[in-house]
Amino acid sequence: MDQKVSDVKVHKMGAWSPGPGCHGGCGVEVSVKDGKVVNVEGMDDHPWYQGRACARVLAMTQYMYHPDRLKWPQKRVGNRGEDKWQRISWDEAFDICEKRMKEIAEKSGPESIIFTQGTGRDVGGMISFLAYAYGSPNWTMLGLSGHSCFTPQLAAGYVMQGDFSFPDAAQFLPDRYDDPEWKAPEIAISWGSTLNRGCVDHYWSGHWFQDLMKRGTKLIVIDPRCTWEATRAVLWLQPRPGTDGALALAFLNVVTSEGLVDKAFIDKWCSGYDQLAERVKEFTPEWAEKISWVPKEKIIQCARMYAKAKPASIEIGRPVEGNPEGNQVIMNIHRLIAITGNLDIPGGNVICRPAYQVTTYPYSTEEVIQLYGADLHRKLSEKRIGADKYPLVKQFRAWAQEDCIIDQMETGKPYPIKGLWIQANNFLANQAQDTRRHYEASKNLDFVCVVDTFMTPTAQLLADIVLPAASFPEKDSIYCIGGPLNVIHKVVEVEECKSDWEINFTLAKRLNPKAVPWGSVREMLTDRMQPSGYTFEQMVDKVWDLAPKGHKCGSRPYRRFEKGELRKDGKEGFRTPTGKVELFNTSYEGWGLDPLPYYKEITPQGPITTPELYKEYPLIMMTGRRSPVLFHSEHRQIPWLRECDPDPVVELNPETAKEKGISNGDLVWIEGTMGRFRRKAKVTPIVHPKMIMVPHAWWLPETEGKSPNSYGIWDLNCNQTIPMGHQDSAGFGGGPISGMLCKVYKA
């Protein structure tokens, strides 16, 4: 729906990356004058954000017309890292990519190119589409350990009840809080999440929690670091990083031993309750206190408050799955949600499905098969890296396993890796743990193409070809990852930038014309949106839509398990083998994994695992606190955003700082057993004296891009001190993103 005011035309659309970077889903108004975007702000008549907007959306004009934006295709003319580039035409860029990729497919097989996406953008759809057209099963997010960026949450939800769930903030109801069916939860737990950093991490806006609190919800925060929300909570638990699993088990222990469960729900809709109750007997609050440092009284209080409230909800942050046995931790939280009867009820944790089951990109194996056919999927699965080792990699999400990829890049076994297609992924500045190892493994590949909006350290150090991606007002796409179906439509062009869809569509057509039966990207998007009954053009006018009540797609709450809306066969129950919430997990049992909860302290370092080392490195490093204005490695060059969060800092407790003679603003080294990096000290009581917090993904685009400086990543990147290879027994979850030991001293 577009309105014209004088010579400015206002276009309404969904906002998704490139641009804000996040998982968004908000509605925005984009004002265009003389072919240029002049203003972007929130859209009042969109239910998710209702006129509100984050700083990243509000700075879009600076992002789109930034002088450093990639404007046209370039090829490398010097050595990797030398910062020598030559402008080329799109035709030449596509010719080079086609030729090099076809050569690699002939010589080594298409599986030897890894297709790696980042987070945020709608890029998952186009990258899997390109990988499958080319014939590679190795679609992934290189640099993560154990897929630890939301995928464990998807996987844990999938094995427990066939779907994942989110706290209910009426986000699936067009009238939101005014819908008479909706209720505010009595208690909401925010577990390991900086909610007010907007919707950067989930399809869930942090500020919805504030909406709930204004409607009477009491908040409990579980976080090793004191957040703003913690200071507004009725209860704050401060665990040692990496011990959320112990807390989850102790909560299960309290709730089952005190009988604070929803017996009717358990009897009808869950299986394995008695076995669960028996198993968690050993995980007492006393036991959990020793591990987590949270006093047992607070553990008991938290469990009781949550279990006695009805409804109550839990929001699970990313660090929770980055725990030892991360998938297991999330599964245990799902067990807690189910046995207290808080699943898919108003104000509880509601099952999250995209409107009409239209998806932006395939999440599950089932969807991959639907999209690309069972034969191709079977053929490709045999070669997917990690599928032979991890059943969830084979059975659930068709992503190659990142820890196994890095091993294979080094050994060349069982087959060599020859190329990387990198789209919206700046892993050397951002998520790649053991960063040097990733760089060494990638620097001599035969072919590397990077698609991005700005030149990044990763592109400088690795790419042969760099392609400029369009930001959201420059492209046609859809947003549908759990919540409304939003349409994004192209209203302007910036230089020669092309959308990720256009780029991959064109290249896929060149590589394998049979895989691209559509004439245009819009035609393909309409095909993808087919379950909704809308064409792309119809949705441009409508902007957003949620499925109506009772729709068979099962995307509208509540109590869908009673109505047969969750299972394909239309029967009551959940989308699991037994139709129940599987507290005793038959999928895990079938894969030879423990079907019941357990605890493993497998953090490679820490006061319990390596007490001697803890004396030498007396601080526990947490990483990755979210910024209100910067998304992962993006936005460091956007003036309006950078000035709100200007420096690569490390947060230190005043006691810790005093002991080391460190003052606010001093440059300090943070050193672990794998190396050291430098930061500016921010002395603040919000961190525990035995812990530090290091915001991740810092690089300095204002400094030299040429190696060895490479925009400062080797000086700043905290992930250099974090190892790979600590994924959990399912291959999902794990990785000591928080929990490594370190020491801090003045630089």
Partner 1 sequence: MSRKGLLIDYDQCSGCHSCAVACKQEHKYPEGKWGIKVEEKVFVDPKRPNSSVRIDYIPFPTEYCDLCAARAKRGERPACVKACQSWCMYQGTLAEMTVLMEKMPRAVLYSR
Tokens read off for 222: 């579980």
**Applying CB under 8 A, does 650 fall inside the site for partner 1?**
no
Among 2, 103, 179, 211, binds partner 1 (CB under 8 A): 211
Q: Which of 259, 592, 639, 708 binds partner 1 (CB under 8 A)?
A: 639
Question: Which strands form 312-316's sheet, in the order they lie side by side?
Answer: 235-237, 218-222, 187-191, 312-316
Which residue, 20 or 391, is less far from partner 1 as judged by CB? 20
| Residues forming a β-bridge with 683 | 652
- CA–CA distance, 311 with 519 (Å, rounded to integer): 49
Sequence-distant (6+) residues with CB within 8 A of 165 are 157, 334, 337, 343, 344, 349, 350, 351, 352
Q: Which stretch binds partner 1 (CB under 8 A): 477-485, 680-688, 699-707, 712-720?
A: 680-688
Q: Give the range of 208-216, 354-362, 474-482, 703-711 binding partner 1 by CB under 8 A.
A: 208-216
* Binding test (CB under 8 A) with partner 1, winner from 260, 376, 608, 644: 644
Q: Where are the alpha helices (DSSP H) in 473-557?
A: 500-511, 521-528, 536-542
Residue span binding partner 1 (CB under 8 A) among the ranges 40-48, 153-161, 268-276, 736-744? 40-48
198 binds partner 1 (CB under 8 A): yes
Q: Is 41 in the site for partner 1 (CB under 8 A)?
A: yes
Q: Is 205 in the site for partner 1 (CB under 8 A)?
A: yes
Q: How far is the CB of 293 from partner 1 (least distance, A)?
A: 15
- 37 in helix, strand or coil? strand
Closest distance to partner 1 from the beta carbon of 225 (Å): 10
With contacts defined by CB under 8 A, name the span among 326-334, 349-357, 636-644, 712-720 that binds partner 1.
Answer: 636-644
Taking CB under 8 A as the criterion, the residue among 15, 22, 32, 54 binding partner 1 is: 54
Q: Which of 153, 108, 157, 111 is nearest to 134 (CA)?
A: 111
Cβ(586)–Cβ(578) under 8 Å?
yes
Q: At what angle do helices 244-257 and 296-308 cross, to 10 degrees?
A: 60
663 touching partner 1, by CB under 8 A:
no
**Measured distance CA(589)–CA(592) in Å, rounded:** 5
Q: How far is the CB of 226 from partner 1 (least distance, A)?
A: 5
The residue (of 211 and 446) whose beta carbon lies closer to partner 1 is 211
Q: How many CB atoms lie under 10 A from the CB of residue 704?
A: 13
Q: Phi and psi for 544 in degrees, rounded to 5?
A: -145, 160
- By CB under 8 A, the residues from 590 to 629 that bind partner 1 are 628-629
In the complex, the smallest distance separating the C-beta of residue 98 from partner 1, rounded to whole angstroms, is: 41
53 binds partner 1 (CB under 8 A): yes
Least gap, CB of 207 to partner 1 (angstroms): 4
When binding is defined by CB under 8 A, the residue of 685, 702, 703, 745 that contacts partner 1 is 685
| Strands 465-468 vs 165-167: parallel, antiparallel or unpaired | unpaired
Q: Are residues 157 and 566 in contact, defined by beta-carbon separation less than 8 angstroms?
A: no
Q: Rg for the chain (alpha carbons), in Å?
A: 25
Q: Is residue 697 a contact point for partner 1 (CB under 8 A)?
A: no
In the list 303, 641, 670, 692, the residue contacting partner 1 (rule: CB under 8 A) is 641
Q: Does 55 bind partner 1 (CB under 8 A)?
A: yes
> Which residue of 86, 231, 275, 663 would you call a contact of partner 1, by CB under 8 A?
231
SS3 254: helix
We find the least distance from the C-beta atom of residue 100 to partner 1, in angstroms, to be: 41
Q: Which of 13, 15, 22, 40 binds partner 1 (CB under 8 A)?
A: 40
Near partner 1 by CB under 8 A, which window of 117-125, 220-228, 346-354, 368-376? 220-228
- Name residue, tokens 């062009």: 493
- Residue 30 within binding range of partner 1, rule CB under 8 A: no
CB contact burial 119-151 (16+ within 10 A = b; e otherwise): bbbbbbbbbbbbbbbbbbbbbbbbbbbbbbbbb
Distance CA 578, CA 242 (A): 32
Q: Which residues bind partner 1 (CB under 8 A)?
A: 39-42, 51-55, 58-59, 61, 195-198, 205-207, 210-211, 214, 226-231, 233-236, 628-629, 639-641, 643-644, 684-686
